[in-house]
Structure 1
Amino acid sequence: MGWSGELEGNNLGEVARSVSLVKLDAHEEALEVGLSGKALRRVEIENSGGTVDLLALPLLAGGDRIGAIVLLQNVTELRRRERELVTKDATIREIHHRVKNNLQTVSALLRLQSRRIEDPAASAALNEAVRRIASIALVHETLSSSAEASVAFDDVLSRLVSHALDLSPRMGELQISRNGELGALDPRIATPLSLVVTELIHNALEHGLAESGNHLTISVSRNEGDAQITIFDDGIGLPEGFSLAQSSNLGLQIVRTLTENELRGNIDLVRTPSGTEARLTFPV
């Protein structure tokens, strides 16, 4: 800490003031009280050599103060680690922010290219790519604006649903229901999951509810080791003989690939008497 002489016979408050990196004048009274042992007080002294935590415990006899015990603990390493964590957290958030900005730039370029293409199929493919990139960017935006290392996926899900509805020509006719909560998820789960959910919602709006039906229900649940998301629409239903494994639909291929390889989960699309139900289960 920079004190090379004997402590015996010196005023501890004066010693602390002389070695402290920060001027202690503003806390003069509190420091004096704490280091004199007049009251139970904790004081932290820091300089370029390290950080020491001092705890003064008054010694009383018959109600009179006869001295004090001062406990000193070297907390230099602890404070260094705390600063590293703060720096690391800020760096990670900045990275997520930059990734989000870069993804938004890519989306803008794709939208610009889409407007210049005369082929409707090519333009539609670019617009689908923009939608998928937006889903990934949303997760990074959530991580960049939060001090937490996890993703509040219920908020992400709400925004994914809202964004999908904005793109639907039947936006004003559809009724959306939400049930349950997923809570916080690890980013390695949240990123592919946002893509999977986006594709399933988009598939329900674009195919199931394109001309008939008006209800979309999203139910989520979570137990100790698994989570489940069910997306139901009361539209025209799946065609006879439909097989997810054999489907040539790019969106559903993305759903199956991400579910199996990234989420390590299972996905089923089933025809029900009243519509179509997608059942997604994955470990958390």
Structure 2
Amino acid sequence: MAFLRETLDRSSMSGADVDWVHRLVGDWQMLADLSFADLTLWLPVQQDDQGDPDASPWFLAAHARPSTGPNFYHDDVIGQAPSAERQSWLSQVLASGRSVTPEEVGYVREQYVPVVRAGRPIAVLVRHTDLQNMRQQGGLEVNYLQISQQLFSMIGEGAFPMDNVATGVGRGTPRVGDGVVRLTAEGVIDYASPNAVSALRRLGHTDHVSGADLSEIVTASLVPGTTVDETMPLVLTGRAPWGTEIEAGAINLTMRSVPLMRGGARVGALLLLRDVSEIRRRERELLSKEATIREIHHRVKNNLQTVAALLRLQSRRLDDPKAQEALAEAGRRLATVALVHETLSEGFSERVDFDDVAVRLLRATVEVASTQAVVTTAVEGSFGWLRPEDATHLAMILAELVHNAVEHGFEEGGPRDPDFSPEVLVGAHRDRQQGQDLLEVTVRDNGHGFAPAEPGVVRSGLGTQIVEALITDLRGEITWKTTEPHGTAVRFTVRLRGPSTG
């Protein structure tokens, strides 16, 4: 199925005309629902000297099906060329700028409407009605059809779609099936669909809806002291093509207004309204849960930092240097886990942007490592978004590897070279293989490196044992090697848990 932006490339329209067509198609589902009919949009083809002389000068650029009745076209028809008869009608309507309804053929009725912008027809909209399967007409059907004809007339006058439309009601924007109200030019309700009547009843209006003033109904339902959106009066009277939301006690209604124009004058308005009380309730629950989760992460971070501080205090009371070092190492590892929880407490996502964590982690780890050298750090590539449990494991692994690189790689300032500049580089590469997210990380330093004859020494410390245990838990692998002319490179690959998109 072709996208509208692709089919528009075949047209002869200007940029402003293309924008007009995009806006029309973005809003014409309302027209299809009100008219109980399929809508197709036909555009003239871009003519050039290289084109096929037998090709049709028209093509079908967009198609909408109604959600209120049977479909006319069941297959994808976008991109089709018109029949000779349809091409004749299309050319006639584009040239005259007037709507045409040819005689019915069998059980099919079609209406050709010029799409006008700035006083000039630029395309043709066709309404296709299946008379054999059409809904039995009652009060709702008659009023819907009347409103749709007003909108089709506005399209032919260049008054629809409208300029400066700013609905801004977010999730829960109303549709035709949610509730339809037609207002007079004075803001009095001329017609209300059953769903619209039910919505107004929930606002507390118990009298007749037809003939009532919509502004008075809504105003009477507002709780004293409620802050009213400045767009509300314009929407309730149908004076502007905007949207608003009304909150009256436990009821939330979204409303969208479409002024009905004739000859440049407003003759009434179409209002779509929807009861979004349940949607807003769920949104409030979600926000409450997110706030609770953030508070939990914040408290966990504070508790971990408190424990780390207590360990530092305790280490100062000990005379044994090894015991002091052990407590200091434990405190550093707790601070690393606290950094992940701090990141989680700052955002609404349930995942961690680990690129930010990695930069902060490197800076903190280098600062606390005991070395005489001033070490620079850098992160290359991207870790992406990670689940909290993966982020915690990865933060611990990185902290241990970077701390080991700084503390042991740059003892006594590092290699004796007048141009030597101590650095630790962390590289990350994400890949997806066989439905799994793979993360390859390299920690490289230009320090002393480990002795080739004793590679096992590098892996004998508690920190390295922690690293290997965490990598095993992530179903990964790790390797160490000495680099030339000096330094160490540690590379590990882990398999991340589940989706990790932010």
TM-score, length-normalised on structure 1? 0.89
The residue number in structure 2 matching 1:221 is 429
Q: Which of structures 1 and 2 has the bigger CA Rg? A: 2
Note the alpha carbon deviations across 1:81-104, whole angstroms, 9 max, x for none: 221222122111111110011011
Stretches (4+) displaced over 4 A: 22-28
Q: Which residue does the alignment assign to 2:287? A: 86
d(CA) in 2 for partners of 1:27, 1:164: 51
1:203 aligns with 2:410: no
| 1:66 CA drift (Å) | 2.6
Aligned equivalent of 1:275 = 487
Q: Quick check: 2:253–2:273 contact (8 Å CA) kept in 1? A: yes
Aligned partners of 1:256 and 1:186: how far apart in 2?
Answer: 20
Say which is worse superposed, 34-43 or 128-137, in terms of deviation: 34-43
Are residues 1:67 and 2:268 paired? yes
What secondary structure is seen at the aligned counterpart in 2 of 1:221?
strand
Could you report, residue by residue, the CA deviation over 1:128-155 in whole angstroms, capped at 9, with x for unpaired residues? 0001001001111111122333222222
Corresponding residue to 1:11 among 213, 218, 238: 213
**What CA distance in whole angstroms lies between the structure 2 residues aligned with 1:24 and 1:116?**
61
Name the structure with the higher helix share. Answer: 1
Instruction: Return the alpha-carbon distance in structure 2 between the equivalents of residues 44 and 177 of structure 1.
Output: 49
Matches within 5 A, 1:1-284: 1-21=203-223, 23=225, 27=229, 30-211=231-412, 212-213=414-415, 214-224=422-432, 225-239=437-451, 240-243=453-456, 247-261=459-473, 263-273=474-484, 274-284=486-496
- What amino acid sits opposite 1:279 in the alignment? R
Q: Which moved more, 1:61-70 or 1:111-120?
A: 61-70
Shift of 1:275: 2.5
Give the whole-Å Cα distance in 1 for the aligned partners of 2:445 and 2:478.
16
CA RMSD of aligned residues (A): 2.3
CA contact (8 A) 1:43 1:53 kept: yes
Letter in 2 for 1:220: A
Counterpart of 1:229, as a letter, is: V
> What code does the residue aligned with 1:202 have?
H
By how many angstroms is 1:209 displaced? 2.4
Instruction: Give identity over the alignment, percent.
Output: 42
Q: Which amino acid aligns with 2:208?
A: E
- Tell me, yes or no, if the aligned pair for 1:17 and 1:23 is still in contact at 8 Å: no
Cα distance 1:32–1:154, how it changes in 2: closer, same or farther (>3 A)? Answer: closer
Q: CA deviation at 1:200?
A: 0.4
How far apart, in 2, do the equivalents of 1:166 and 1:24 lie? 53
For 1:196-234, what per-residue CA distance to the aligned partner results, in whole angstroms no more than 9, with x for missing partners? 000001111222322433332222222343222211123
Distance in 2 (alpha carbons) for counterparts of 1:247 and 1:200? 11
Q: How many residues align?
A: 281
Find the aligned partners of 1:25 and 1:40 in 2 and give their Cα distance: 21
- CA positional deviation for 1:75: 0.8
Distance 1:22 1:220, change over 3 A: farther
What amino acid is the match of 1:242?
A: P
Structure-2 change in CA distance of 1:23 and 1:250 (3 Å) = same
Helix, strand or coil for the counterpart of 2:311?
A: helix
> Aligned with 2:362: secondary structure?
helix
Is the contact made by 1:165 and 1:171 (CA closer than 8 Å) also made in structure 2?
no
Residues of 2 paired with 1:23 and 1:99: CA distance? 39
Amino acid at match of 1:56: S
Unaligned runs of 5+ in 1: none
Higher relative contact order (CA 8 A, sep 6+): 1
- Bigger mean CA deviation after superposition, 93-102 or 61-70: 61-70
CA distance in 2 between counterparts of 1:278 and 1:22 reads 66
TM-score, length-normalised on structure 2?
Answer: 0.52
| Larger mean Cα displacement after TM superposition, 103-112 or 226-235 | 226-235
